[in-house]
Amino acid sequence: MSRIPLFFWGLVAVVSGVWFAADSFWVSPFAYFPFRSVFVQYSGILAVFMMAVALVLALRLRVLERWVGGLDKVYRLHKWLGIGSLVLATLHWWWAKGTKWMVGWGWLEKPAGKGAGQQLAGLEAWFRGQRGLAETLGEWAFYAAAILIVLALVKAFPYHLFRKTHKLLAVIFLPLAWHSFILMKFDYWAAPIGWLTQFAVVAGSIAAVLLLLGWPGKVRKVQGEVVSVTRYPELRVFEFLVKVEQGWSVHNPGQFAFITSDAAEGPHPYTIASDWNPETRCLKFVVKELGDHTRRASHRICEGMPVTLEGPYGGFDFEDDCRTQIWVGAGIGITPFIARMGRLASKPDNRTIYLFHPTADVSEEALTKLRADAEAAGVNLVIRCSRTEGRLTPEEIRDAVPDWQGASLWFCGPVGMARTLFNEFRRWGLPARRMHREFFEMR
């Protein structure tokens, strides 16, 4: 199992296990309203846990990046925790709010009240007095969060608007934290689930405040200047070099950086397509016009432009114990491999490497550079133009590598191709731990 589902389902299992130690779905008598009472508690606690962890992940902490396997994996886990929290929050909202509607419609009959009972006092009475405000805040915060999470998942929603609106989720978490703090079952306070929930609420709230203050990445930011721009119109690709000031951490080939070329647009991730050279202090980036941001950046970025860089990030570092490596860089996914070949040209590691570069668009100038990089690095290069030669298949890759059973597979490119390639090699017996992929999707 890869780390992303392991962390996701591990969180669900841990929170559920601690909750089941304090409560149960097997209520007595087993009826709609008693079950509703415990399910609303369970779904609310798990939803706020997922959102809190998603906010902590958004801080881009080095320790979490190492645990999860790179910032691309961190953001993928962040995305699935956001989806999970939305699903759970929707269920929580329906069982809480929908039940009241169904009573009003005559579909359900609310059980008779238990009477005044014992008069509450002290802290419990104070909590009971805050319930109305907490319910109202939680309901409206849920509506806002649902809209923003759905917008984040819509790829057609412009990146610069996504970046600004997504940050509002940090604001929205604060009333949700208060909602959870007040409405959690009072008996839970004396149990581990209560302590764990309050820890999540506090950690998520701190993360939310730090995100709003712009804390993430501050220690990794340096200034730079664009010193050259090369355009490949036939590929809808542009390449630019940035000379960075002092403070840049030495990066590994395959890592990426966030670049801000326009304060209104904000930072955007780009794979670093060069090895580090302390003499020139220049980083190369190769970018394809795939979305609204990159299309604007291709016209905006020019020689002499000041930019802010943040990084390096990522765990796509080519480090393993295999003597043979299979690289597949599809389209613009070739960039991390260009950087690695730059490293190998000066520091060979005696591996046997096969690089497959399927591409729909062709530029002879770009391919000439790629062939020269591969020759200097001692890499076996296979170029496939899908428009004239057809798609590159997993079978062709396997048959071209004599020792594929003992190799590792490194892929960067389209999601569909990754899925097909990994499924086939997994079916042929290649261990999952030897298959590596760059999830270069930050939303």
Give per-residue pLDDT as tens, 177-189.
999 999 999 899 9
Please indicate, yes or no, whether residues 204 and 171 belong to a single structural domain of this protein.
yes
Residue 442 forms part of a structural domain:
no
Strand partners, 354: 326, 380
Amino acid identity at 410: W
Instruction: Mark whether 341 and 277 lie in a shared domain.
Output: no
Task: Give the model's pLDDT for residue 1.
Answer: 47
H helix intervals, 105-235 = 122-129, 131-153, 159-166, 168-183, 192-212
pLDDT tens for each residue of 80-131: 999 999 999 999 999 999 999 999 998 988 887 655 445 566 777 777 878 8
Spatial separation of the C-alpha atoms in residues 177 and 182, rounded to whole Å? 9
CATH code where residue 342 lies = 3.40.50.80
Rounded Cα distance between 50 and 27, Å, is 26
> Which of 276, 293, 313 is where one domain is finished?
313
Once rounded to an integer, what is the mean pLDDT over residues 363-376?
Answer: 93
Check whether residue 44 and residue 179 sit in a common domain. Answer: yes
Residue at 443 is within a domain: no
pLDDT value at 269 more than 70: yes
Q: Which residues contact 299 (CB under 8 A, 6 or more apart)?
A: none
Domain containing 374 equals: 324-437
pLDDT digits 0-9 by tens, 392-436: 999 999 999 999 999 999 999 998 999 999 999 999 999 999 999
The structure's pTM equals 0.86
pLDDT at 299 over 70: yes
295 in the same domain as 223: yes
Please name which of 338, 320, 347, 333 lies closest in space to residue 435, comparing C-alpha atoms.
320
| One domain for residues 196 and 160 | yes
With vertex at residue 192, the alpha carbon angle to CA 119 and CA 19, rounded to the nearest 5 degrees, is 90
318 located within any domain: no
Mean pLDDT of 263-276: 88
Q: What is the pLDDT of residue 115?
A: 52
* Structural domain ending residue among the three candidates 270, 285, 313: 313
Taking only the tens place, the pLDDT of each residue in 19-50 is 999 999 988 888 899 999 999 999 999 999 99
Q: Are residues 167 and 190 in the same domain?
A: yes
Whether 168 shows a pLDDT value over 80: the answer reads: yes
Count of structural domains within the chain: 3
- 172 and 50 assigned to the same domain: yes
| Same-domain check for residues 127 and 171 | yes
Same structural domain, 70 and 172: yes
Say if residue 96 is in the same domain as residue 11.
yes
The residue from 160, 194, 212 where one domain ends is 212
